[in-house]
Amino acid sequence: MERFDVPESVLGPRDVVIAEGPDALSYLHSQISQDIRPLQVGDSAWTFVLEPTGKVAGFSRVTRTGDDRYELDTDAGFGAGLLARIDRFKIRVKVATALEPACEADSVERDEAARIAFGWPAMGHEIVPGETIPAALGISRIAVNFTKGCYPGQELVERMDSRAAEAPRSLRRVTVAEGTRPGDPVLDDGEQVGEVTSVAGTSALAFVRRTSQLGEPISF
The residue-averaged pLDDT of 150-167 equals: 87
- Residue 21 in this model has a pLDDT that exceeds 70: yes
State pLDDT tens for residues 138-153: 999 999 999 988 999 9
Instruction: List the chain domain ranges.
Output: 8-110+140-157, 169-217
- Residue 209 in this model has a pLDDT that exceeds 90: yes
**DSSP β-ladder status, 69-75 and 56-66:** antiparallel
Instruction: Identify the band that residue 50 occupies on the pLDDT scale cut at 50, 70 and 90.
Output: very high
CATH of 8-110+140-157, one of 3.40.190.10, 3.30.70.1400, 3.90.190.10, 3.10.180.10: 3.30.70.1400
What's the pTM value of the predicted model, to 2 decimals? 0.94
Closest CA relative to residue 72, chosen from 88, 55, 85: 85
- Tell me the backbone φ, ψ of residue 197, rounded to 5 degrees: -115, -30
The residue-averaged pLDDT of 53-73 equals: 98
The residue with greater pLDDT, 184 or 158, is: 184
Closest CA relative to residue 80, chosen from 16, 151, 34: 16
CA angle (160, 165, 170) in 5-degree steps = 100
Closest CA relative to residue 72, chosen from 85, 57, 81, 82: 82
The residue-averaged pLDDT of 179-205 equals: 97
State pLDDT tens for residues 72-123: 999 999 999 999 999 999 999 999 999 999 987 778 899 999 999 999 999 9
Give, in order, the Cα–Cα distances in Å from 184 to each of 7, 195, 200, 207: 28, 6, 13, 11
Q: Is 194 helix (H, G, I), strand (E, B) or coil?
A: strand
Q: Could you tell me what percent of the chain has a pLDDT over 70?
A: 99
